[in-house]
Chain A
Amino acid sequence: MDGIRMIVHIGILYLFYYAGVWIQETLNTVIPGSIIGMLLLLLFFYAKLVKPALIEKGANLLLSHMPLLFLPVTAGVMAHFSLFAGKGLILAVIAYISTLIVMLTAGWTAQWLVRRRESDG
């Protein structure tokens, strides 16, 4: 039963995903269909048209194994190995350091604002 329920839940998530893709294509925007689908589902939750329980089993399965879903994509760097020579390597180092700078800036700013908020209340 649980297996069938999961498949149905994932099927419902696919409906929202394809609705999102359709909206993206219609509006011709760079925001990906999956993110539009997520916002759409959130809207349905708020409007009480869909209950989280209707999709929770399938959603939890996907969310708890998200790293698996990335493996085929990350393995794709293989197709671009030659890029990591010369300028590509410099850029990869810049990309990595810049990633740490983003973490630092976003994390510190958020933490500072959170603490300010908590000391207010």
Chain B
Amino acid sequence: MDEWGIALPAIIGTVAVYYGSRVLYKRFPFPFLLPIVTGTAVIVLFLAAAGISYPAYMIGGKWIEHLLGPAVVALAIPLYKQREVLKMYAVPVMGGVTAGAAAGILSGYFPAKWAGIEENLIAAVLPKSVTTPVAMEVSASTGGAPALAAVFVMVAGIGGVVSAAAFFKWCGIRHELARGIALGSASHAIGTAKALENGEREGTASSVAMTLSAVLISVLIPSLAFILF
């Protein structure tokens, strides 16, 4: 019962912050005001100001986080509804995801190597484009710290969704399937949540890309580890 005394305010507070940041984003739809950005900032600042530790907040926060499991399962619905589209575009989806996964590993590994960064730190950066649990496992299997890997997953997720609109325009990625594949390959489930807001097709392409890239990267990185590290 003492636990619920902490958990309930944390849950209600998080939902309230989320709704507030949604209202703000509807009024001012700038990428850096996306609910995931302002919501995270408000929670982090509030906890810091009130002197509440992250583990204490998570006594309530874990109940919200736990719903991510069934939410990922729920992605089967858009996938199934768009099955004809996916069948038709199987080659672009596979091609885009594979190219993206390879580019992500190379463009994470070499700059870090040239900057003289230790291998155990590099191992935590490489799986940044896949969903948190996969990234943590892949990082651990190649000698990187799981918690550090989770931080870079957030950098890829938030950095990706904040930049996506301007970046797609700038480099001429216009097709909705290509946008979805790019978001899912680069920014995993956070990118997929954004793609779903843009439309069912873009969201579907993104969920497929996210799934394929999780499978691909969890096979690729441990196999390449012998060469890289």
Contacts and interface: CB of A to CB of B under 8 A. Distances in A.
B80 A83 contact: no
B186 A103 contact: yes
Contacts of A100: 159-160, 163, 167, 186
Given A59-B77, A80-B151, A110 B156 contact: no
Interface residues of B, number: 110
Interface of A: 10, 13-14, 16-17, 20-21, 29-35, 37-39, 41-42, 45-46, 52, 55-56, 58-60, 62-80, 83, 87, 90-92, 94-111, 113-115, 117
B179 A113 contact: no
Contact of B36 (A41, A67, A97, A117): A67
Top 7 nearest A-B pairs (CB, nearest first) are A106-B100, A110-B96, A72-B61, A107-B182, A13-B70, A59-B74, A113-B92
A117 B74 contact: no
Given A106-B181, A107-B171, A45 B67 contact: no
Contacts of B61: 71-72, 75
B196 A38 contact: no
Given A35-B211, A99-B160, A91 B68 contact: no
Given A30-B137, A30-B141, A83-B148, A113 B74 contact: no
17 contacts: A31-B214, A32-B134, A55-B74, A63-B196, A70-B193, A71-B40, A71-B43, A74-B39, A76-B154, A80-B147, A83-B151, A91-B125, A95-B155, A95-B159, A102-B186, A104-B167, A110-B93
Given A32-B133, A66-B192, 5 more contacts: A33-B69, A37-B73, A71-B18, A83-B148, A108-B178
Interface string B39-52: 11001100110000
Contacts of B124: 91
B160 to A, nearest CB: 5
Interface in B89-136: 89, 91-93, 95-97, 99-104, 107-108, 111-112, 115, 117-118, 121, 124-125, 128-129, 131-134
B186 A106 contact: yes
A102 B69 contact: no
